[in-house]
Structure 1
């Protein structure tokens, strides 16, 4: 289990992570819908993590959401690299009623994010107290700090709650599959290092 504490003038975050856990999450960011999404991420990735965040929510939720992504990305990077005995690539498409979101991940220590919700149109609005455009900010912060090349694509959907929840679940399943332990794979690269 890895631990991290990150204090800035905008947020104070304490977090821990075990990537090969049982899917137990203890989340308190003071943003209800975001907490629900992180609990879903923990559950479906089978990662155990705790995160508490005190942020400048009197301004908005941006700093809290982005900084939680930074911290989780840093924890993932500590746990994952150097890469050995993992599948490396993972993908999943998750349906939630009318919504379907696909996520493809390469655990390669080369950070990149494609986040395409254009099938929805103008990806703005709120679910509860959560600004939906912060979904992309969270995944960008996480992927850049973890060294993950990630493509997230909305195949179809109308209900914002369903779309965002399918996004978190697809990411969780894709990451779980990419990190699946395989003793037959020493280093999953022709370079010999990642």
Structure 2
């Protein structure tokens, strides 16, 4: 994994997540322009990560190999773990950032509310129906992606899919909102000294 804050706060980290089930390599530039090169072997998941990158203005490269002949669970979850880990490495203890971010994002008839707190405390709250198949992609693994992400990033995320009829549209709204909300949360603010907390540490 490689993490880069960019600008005057550049930090680089390299590493890989490898198990008997998956091999994942992630490169992330927090202050990017939405450039992405993503290959997980799961076309719909690649598309969702493209949306996250573009709408969040994160430069993202992912190369993942996994046991997708068994199912998509391990690969999707491990990509979330790797992305969360590399983000945390890029943010230097969450100092100087807005910390909170939110987005209300439509995709045609579907609407998602997404809220993130870079709190240092992993927690995922998921509300709304998003189960079933999109082609061969099992939508329930999206929650596993976010579980892996919050555990490694050390953040709290609330996802509320308010409504929608098309499952593809619901999941697309989630990933677009993810990008926009996270972009807001990690934006630097020169008025914030240290971390945005009365405790002085997260």
Q: In structure 1, how many angstroms separate the alpha carbons of the residues matched to 2:88 and 2:15?
A: 12
What per-residue deviation string (whole Å, max 9, x for no partner) do you get for residues 61-91 of structure 1? 1101001001001101111231221111110
For 1:31-46, list aligned pairs within 5 A.
31-46=42-57
1:73 to 84, 91, 98: 84
Aligned match of 2:97: 86
2:197 to 186, 189, 193: 189
CA distance 1:81–1:108, shift in 2 (3 Å): farther
2:187 to 154, 175, 180: 180
Q: Which runs of 5+ in 2 are unaligned?
A: 5-12
Q: Secondary structure at the match of 1:91?
A: strand
Instruction: Tell me whether 1:106 sits opposite 2:113 in the alignment.
Output: no
CA contact (8 A) 1:98 1:158 kept: yes
Aligned match of 2:37: 26
Measured on the aligned residues, the alpha-carbon RMSD in Å equals 1.0
Q: Which runs of 5+ in 1 are unaligned?
A: none
Q: In structure 1, how many angstroms separate the alpha carbons of the residues matched to 2:200 and 2:187?
A: 19
1:177, distance to aligned residue in structure 2 (A) = 0.5
Instruction: Tell me whether 1:130 sits opposite 2:137 in the alignment.
Output: yes
Q: Secondary structure at the match of 2:15?
A: strand
Matched length? 190
Q: In structure 1, how many angstroms separate the alpha carbons of the residues matched to 2:117 and 2:26?
A: 24
TM-score normalized by the length of structure 2: 0.91
1:55 to 63, 66, 71: 66
1:7 to 18, 32, 37: 18
